Structure 1
C-alpha cells in the first residue's frame, strides 16, 4: 500500500514537472516568435497621397498609389500601381508601372545584373525614348559608389547635352555620408553631407534587391536649392535615392560649407522606427506618416 502511494506521488510529480516544462517551453516559443519579427511599411502618407505596400517574404512585390480627392470627397482613388518582377532566384528584373487613369502600362527603363541596377534610363518630356542614362558602379557591399550620367535637356527651342559624374561615400553604419557631383561640361560642382539619427530606417528590413528604387517622399532636388514638394515613392529620374540610407534616418542635409539645406524632426514608435517625419527647416512642406506591419523574420 505504501509502495503504491509512493508510486502515485512519483507519477503526480512527473506530470507536474512535465506540465511546468511544457508551459515554460510554450512561453519560450511565444517569446521567441515575438522576438523574431520585423517591421516593414504597410502604408506611407503625405498630404493627399498615400502608398500601400505588398510583400512576398522580404521583397516588395507591389505598391499602389492613392490620392484623396478633396473636391469630390473621395477617399480612395487609385492613381497608379508599381509591380515588381523577380526571377527564380529572387533578383529584381523589372518594375511595371500601371497608370490607372489612362490604363497605360509601361516598364521602367532599367538594366539589372544580379538584382542590382547597372543602368537606369528615363525619357525627357520632349522624347519618347530614354535619352537620360545613368550607369552605376558598386562596392563589395552592393552600395552605389559612382554614377556616370549622360542626358539631354531642352528649353523648348534648343536641346543640349548634360554630362556629370556622382560619387558616394558611406559611414561605418552604411549610411551615405557624402555625395559629390562633378559636372563635365560646366563648373556646377557641389557636395552634400548627411547627418543621421541612430534609429531604424523604414526600409531596413526590405531585401536590397527590391528596395533599389524605393525612396521616401522627401527628396531634395539635385542642385540643392530648387527644393520641391515631393510625391514620389519610386525613383524614376536620373538618380537613385537609395544611395542614401536604409539603416538610419537622415535628419539634416548640409552643403560643402556645412550650411544647413534642410532638416527633419522624427517621431518614433516603441521599436525605434519613424512614424512621422516632419520638415524642420528648408522648403520641403508636408509631414510623412508611416504605418507598419509585423512580419516573421
Structure 2
C-alpha cells in the first residue's frame, strides 16, 4: 500500500489551496473518476482498485491484500484507515472548523504515541502548520517541526519544513492537465492527501539542509505523462534521482 501513496504523489500533491474552500471539486461536465491503477516496477506488477459512493471515495484495494478505507461526515473526509490484510495498521483522522481543515492526527496501531498537525490560514494565502508528537496515555506533547505551504493556481508550489536539526524546502512544478482525483468530494480540503491538487506534478525538488552538520542535499523526482482526450493522465513514468523508475497505467 505504500506504493500507492508513492503513486498518487507522482500524480498529484498532498496539498490544495485554501482559496478553493467555496469551490466544488466535482467536474460537472465530465465527472470522471479513476477506477484502477497498475504499477510496474523492477519487473513486478501491482494493481489498485478504487471504489466510490457517488463522488466519495470508499476504498482502494491492492492485489496484495492491503487496502485503504475512507470515512466521510457529510461531504468532509474525516478518516482514512490503512489495512494490511485484516489488520488495521494506520489511521488518519481529520478535524474541521466551518469547512476548513484545522487539524489532523496520525496513529499507528499499537503505538504509544500519535502525531498531530495543526493548520493556520494566513492573510497572504499561505498556510502555516505545526506538527506535534503526543503520548497517548498522558497527552504529553512535544513539537516535531513547523512549516509553511505556498500556493499558486490551486496547487502547492513550495513546502517549507523546519525542525531542530534540519530545514527542508520542497518545490513543485506542474503540467496544465487534470488531476485524476479532481472530481472526488472532500479531497480539496486536505493538506496531507497526495490526490487533491488541480494539476499533476512534473518535477519535485527537495533540498535538505542539515543545520547541525552544515551539509545540503538535493533530491529530484521527475514525472512524464501521457493523457487521454479529456486531459487526464493515462500513464506516468516516475524517475528518481537515484535512477529508480516506476511506471503507472491509469484506467477510468
Equivalent in 148, 151, 154 of residue 174 of structure 1:
154
The answer on 1:91 being equivalent to 2:76 is yes
Q: If each structure's helix is expressed as a fraction of its own residues, which one has the higher value? A: 1
- TM-score, normalization by structure 2: 0.67
Aligned residues: 207
Instruction: Show structure 2 runs of 5+ residues with no match.
Output: 1-27, 135-141, 208-215
Report if aligned partners of 1:136, 1:144 keep a CA contact under 8 Å in 2. no
Instruction: Show structure 1 runs of 5+ residues with no match.
Output: 1-34, 69-77, 153-160, 214-238, 293-297
The answer on 1:133 being equivalent to 2:120 is no
Deviation at 1:269, TM superposition (A): 1.1
Matches within 5 A, 1:37-186: 37-47=30-40, 48-60=45-57, 62-68=58-64, 78-87=65-74, 90-95=75-80, 97=81, 99=83, 101-102=85-86, 104=88, 107-123=91-107, 127-130=111-114, 132-138=115-121, 145-151=127-133, 163-171=144-152, 173-183=153-163, 185-186=164-165
CA separation of 1:203/1:104 partners in 2, compared to 1, >3 Å: closer, same or farther?
A: closer
Q: If each structure's strand is expressed as a fraction of its own residues, which one has the higher value? A: 2
Deviation at 1:65, TM superposition (A): 1.6
Higher RCO (CA < 8 A, seq sep 6+): 2
Q: Distance in 2 between matches of 1:44 and 1:140?
A: 38
RMSD (CA atoms): 3.6
Counterpart of 1:270 in structure 2 is 229
Deviation at 1:168, TM superposition (A): 0.9
